[in-house]
Amino acid sequence: VVLHFADRLVAACRAKGNSLCVGLDPRWAMLPQEVRRRHAGQGLEGLAAACEEFCLRVLELVAPLVPAVKVQMACFEAGGPAGLAAMQHVLRAARQQGLITILDGKKNDIASTAQSYAEAVFGGTLLEGARWPVWEADALTVNPYLGADALEPFITQARSCGGGVFLLVRTSNPGSRQFQDLCCGGRPLYLHVAEAAAGWARQHLGRCGLGDVGAVVGVTQAAELAVVRQQFPELWLLLPGYGAQGGGAAAAAAGFRPDGLGALVNSSRGIIAGFAPEETQWEECIRAATRQTLAELLQQTPMRRLAAAS
């Protein structure tokens, strides 16, 4: 029996009493000097090893506190094949610690190629009749521009493994309005995309009433976030942009359903880069930033209902 992604995510949130997602976006310049020192002068292999060491330590710090992590593929791709091997190790360690893993790859391509990406993320590459695991994440971010036939391989493959897909709907960057807000047939493009996501979600709802296709809506986009939440109650929303990008708890509140479900709030730099490189107590800084972010969210959003239930 394959458990439904939405139910797995709800269970993880209830178990931790919150729906904070920690973003793993390791970059050389922000890593603690202590970590960098051990891997300096070794080029991309050193970058890969430093990112892996740092992220494994972050996982140990945050796994007792939060339900999920989002792994930024670009930061590992910066290290080439060695960096992507480090990403495999980080994803595996997160899974072993019971975290829900979201691979932030913003993938997109025509159907036959989307199938390759999807197999690599979810069930594994099919080779001589057997599946070979590649990234093994629980969920993937996907760019919707190509349309339904190019998105369905991601959804079908995720669904077959109890995985999920988060479609980019309204992204957290300042320029997201350029195309995403263009008004077509009386409503902005991003609502057309959200409608499509909700259609797929309704095809296959979990017991919790949420689907395994969700939407990425920047917490920096407060008004649009409220609209998506109100119109599409069946969507899990992944909310990037908390903290370093300017989104706050008051804005995040609009992403939740009244029952406290449906919003996974992601903070990356605000948690893993909130200290100077020379800080020796960086692990304590990460733990404190996580606790501080949780306190803000539990105080100012319906997320507190998860804590009450746990």
Which residues are catalytically annotated? 106
Distance of CA 93 to the CA centre of its chain: 16
CB-based burial label for 182 (10 Å; 0-12, 13-18, 19+): exposed
Determine the Cα–Cα distance for residues 291 and 62; give it in Å rounded to an integer. 9
Burial label, 233 (beta-carbon count in 10 A; 0-12, 13-18, 19+): middle
Stretch of 90-98, 185-193, 231-239, 250-258 lying at the interface with a second copy (CB under 8 A): 185-193
CA 62 to chain centre: 15
State yes or no: residue 113 binds a second copy (CB under 8 A).
yes
67 versus 105: smaller Cβ distance to a second copy: 105
* 43 lies in the binding site for a second copy (CB under 8 A): yes
| Site for a second copy contains 309 (CB under 8 A) | no
Contacts with a second copy, 52-91, as mask; x by CB under 8 A: --------------------x-xx-xxxxxx-xx--x---
**Is there a contact between 23 and 271 (Cβ–Cβ < 8 Å)?**
yes
Q: Check: CB of residue 120 under 8 Å from CB of residue 134.
A: yes
Q: Which of 18, 19, 101, 108 is in the footprint of a second copy by CB under 8 A?
A: 108
Site for a second copy (CB under 8 A): which residue of 96, 132, 291, 299?
132
Query: Pick from 14, 107, 159, 229: which binds a second copy (CB under 8 A)?
Result: 107
**What is the C-alpha to C-alpha distance for residues 190 and 171, in angstroms, rounded to an integer?**
9
Contact status, residue 266 vs residue 240, Cβ threshold 8 Å = yes
Q: Which range touches a second copy (CB under 8 A), out of 111-119, 154-162, 259-267, 288-296?
A: 111-119
Instruction: Using CB under 8 A, list all residues that contact a second copy.
Output: 25, 27-28, 40-41, 43-44, 46-47, 72, 74-75, 77-82, 84-85, 88, 104, 106-111, 113-114, 116-117, 119-120, 125, 127-128, 132, 134-135, 143-150, 168, 171-180, 182-185, 189, 192-193, 196, 245
